[in-house]
Amino acid sequence: MALPSAVGTPHSEVTGTRGRVLVAIRTAAAPVTVDDLATGLDLHPNTVRFHATALEDAGLVLHESRPTGGKGRPRAVYLPTPQGTRSGQRNYRLLADVLVEDLAATAPDPAEAAHAAGRAWGTRLAAARSRGRRTTPGAAVAVLAEMGFDPEPRPVRRPREIHLLNCPFRELVDSHQELVCALHGGMLAGLLDVPEGDDPLLRPFATPTSCLVRVP
């Protein structure tokens, strides 16, 4: 994950007809014309032109004028920008599944290894956000909100506990709860600079609809 923020913000996936036009431009062996795209996608040239212009405005493609080799006007061709070449479908869930499965199968103590990895991650987050100062509970709530945990601090001003109303790792928890919760608990320990061996901060599924973080 990118620092200093808790989570990255990849470019939104382009879908529908515009996504088809982007894929055709991105995967073409050479820059393509509107007519090339219209023929290949079975679309009207004006439809292709409309979506290509929108993709250009979004910084995903650009168009250039290329000579025809004869006396005619140069033809416009489209090609992807560096951002456009990185705009394909993402599947971070698959990557997470692979890593968790490998950790479960190869680590001598998978939960301990997950906790250590989480603590290192949380320590890096704290260093990036707090600039050498201890992370406050309010800052921890902000980090958890950025990650998608829907935190609810209680009380709001000086929370002693934080209820997590959503789990962005939920599908992985269903198959590897011990590892994922150990990683999450380690992240909280690193973020809040809790000494090794202290009582766990995280109580998974403290209620049927939420997990609980104890603020030290």
Residues 150 and 74 both lie in one domain: no
**Residue 14 DSSP code:** P
Q: What is the pLDDT of residue 96?
A: 92
Residues 109 and 194 both lie in one domain: yes
Residues 129 and 105 both lie in one domain: yes
Q: Using the predicted structure, report yes or no on whether residue 1 has a pLDDT greater than 90.
A: no
Q: Using the predicted structure, report yes or no on whether residue 6 has a pLDDT greater than 50.
A: no
Number of domains the chain contains: 2
Q: What is the pLDDT of residue 2?
A: 35
**Does 34 fall in a domain?**
yes
Place of tokens 């609980």: 212
pLDDT digits (tens, 9 = 90+) for 160-184: 999 999 999 988 998 999 999 999 9
Residues 131 and 177 both lie in one domain: yes
* Helix ranges, the chain (H): 16-27, 34-41, 45-57, 82-85, 92-106, 110-130, 137-147, 170-191
Q: What is the pLDDT of residue 132?
A: 67
Grouping H, G, I as helix, E, B as strand and the rest as coil, residue 115 is: helix
Phi then psi dihedrals of residue 189, to 5 deg: -65, -40
pLDDT digits (tens, 9 = 90+) for 82-104: 998 888 778 888 999 999 999 99
Contact present, 108 and 66 (Cβ < 8 Å): no
Q: What is the pLDDT of residue 12?
A: 57
> H-helix or E-strand containing 77?
strand 75-80
Residues 81 and 96 both lie in one domain: no
Grouping H, G, I as helix, E, B as strand and the rest as coil, residue 207 is: strand
**Does 5 fall in a domain?**
no
Q: Using the predicted structure, report yes or no on whether residue 4 has a pLDDT greater than 50.
A: no
**Does 109 fall in a domain?**
yes
User: How remote is the C-alpha of 186 from its chain's centroid?
Assistant: 20
**Does 3 fall in a domain?**
no
Hey, which of 7-11, 121-125, 156-160 has the most confident mean pLDDT? 121-125
Least-confidence region, from 45-49, 138-142, 193-197, 206-210: 193-197
0.85 exceeded by pTM: no
Residues 200 and 99 both lie in one domain: yes
Q: Quick one: average pLDDT of 63-81?
A: 83
Residues 68 and 113 both lie in one domain: no
Give residue 68's pLDDT band: very low, low, confident or very high (50, 70, 90).
Answer: confident
Count Cα neighbours of 97 within 13 Å in the Cβ-side half-sphere: 7
Residue 118's domain spans which residues? 92-214
Residue 71: CATH number of its domain: 1.10.10.10
Grouping H, G, I as helix, E, B as strand and the rest as coil, residue 133 is: coil
Contact present, 201 and 213 (Cβ < 8 Å): yes
Residues 78 and 151 both lie in one domain: no
Q: Using the predicted structure, report yes or no on whether residue 142 has a pLDDT greater than 80.
A: yes
Residues 68 and 137 both lie in one domain: no
CA distances from 28 to 35, 143, 199 (A): 14, 41, 56
**Which residue type does 209 have?**
T
Boundary residue ending a domain (58, 85, 112):
85
Residues 80 and 96 both lie in one domain: no
Boundary residue ending a domain (59, 85, 111):
85
132, with CB counted inside 10 A (0-12, 13-18, 19+), is exposed
Q: Quick one: average pLDDT of 115-138?
A: 87
Q: What is the pLDDT of residue 72?
A: 67
Which among 92, 111, 100 has a CA at the least distance from the CA of 175? 100
Residues 98 and 79 both lie in one domain: no
Residues 210 and 104 both lie in one domain: yes
Q: Quick one: average pLDDT of 119-125?
A: 93
Q: What is the pLDDT of residue 70?
A: 65
- pLDDT > 70 in the chain, percent: 92
